[in-house]
Chains A and B, each alone.
Chain A
Amino acid sequence: MKMTKIVRTTADLFFPFCLVFGLYVVVHGHLTPGGGFQGGAVMATGTALLLVARAYDDVTGRIRKGAMKVCEAAGLLIFLCAGFSGLFAGRPFMANWIARDGALFRTAIAHGPNAGDLNTAGLLPLLNFGVGIEVLGGLTVILLYMLSGIKEEKKK
């Protein structure tokens, strides 16, 4: 099923903005409302938009199911590795060990309202990123699987 040219062009135009906004929500998860789950869902919405506007075969050329599966598994692996990394630092599982004495994301912030700094929060940005690409991959794979049965009817 193919929509009109107007819908297709609008979907094409909005797709990159969806991805960028989702990535913004994921990356700023420790500063602003939102986080990995919400940002990943926003990014997957871009795929849904393309799938609604275009034929299934048009979309699979741009979004590969295999790559999305890799995204999903890699997201969970990042989460697990970040969780286990606390053990190597001599802290418990899932402990936020780089918030105080790591190399990255360690800027200390004052208590109370402040301007916010991306380079804070220790392990949280990493975990947010892992969950973000996992949700992106998972929801996209579900969408592609469920809509793969829709085929355009051939005209006789």
Chain B
Amino acid sequence: MTSLIQLLVSGFATGAIYALIAVGFTLLWQTSQTINFAQGEFVMLPAFFVLVAMNLGAPFWLAALICLALSVLVLGLLFKLVIVDPMLKQGVLPLVISTIALSLFLKESVKNFYASQAQPFPTLVPAIDLRILGAVVSTQSLAVLAVAIATVGALHLLLNKTRLGRSMQATAQNPALAIILGIPVRRMVLYTFLLNAVLVAIASILVSPIYLAKFTNGETLGLAAFLAAIIGGFNQVRGAILGGVILGVLDNLSAAYVSSQYRGAFPLLILIVVILIRPQGLLGRVEERTV
């Protein structure tokens, strides 16, 4: 029982990180039909922004802010202008290929220009084990959980309670109608890219103390984000959050109780089952296609 609590806490913490990545992923898909195969590398990269800033002498909080700013600039603005915009007229698949190439590019660049070894990464809070109801829970998991929940909460408020957020949602759901309503659609699409950059930067700072900063981190994280998005529903922000949490909890439980060798297989089996039974995802809408 006590180990179950421990597993659930760390599972929710991992799941919350997956959820952040998956939300950004679905936002890009909804507003611009960008399936970002480099999303995992987008999470890998900001950690190195932090490390570079700290190597130059910045304290951690400043480095985190610099990382956020650089992410918005590089993974938000530059990604949109240099990679996505020239590709939009070519359709979905060429853009998919382009982002696959981009992920290779980011991975190899970090490997060649920074380091191929895993780098230690500063933690948000000192790692202390707390005893709650007899279970040992690390402050690190709790901090990750708190930051992730706060981020998702802020995102929820932004998307649903502000004019800007509702404009973004309108853009995602029906761009043609959004234009008629006077919403600056192009700017809204750009904002979702910037938002995605912020989300991956936060996820990166949360995940790197656990996994260490390494150029291959993106592979597992990206896959987890895809799976979370599809299991929950590709076209719903809520779905991505649900998918992320399911995946994180399941990952921890299956590794402990079923088989650690095949821990990677359980999310995939769920994916296949979900796609066969409910291809639009647990909370997704059905997308119609015209002839």
Q: Do A and B bind each other?
A: no
Chain A residues engaging chain B, CB cutoff 8 angstroms: none
Chain B residues engaging chain A, CB cutoff 8 angstroms: none
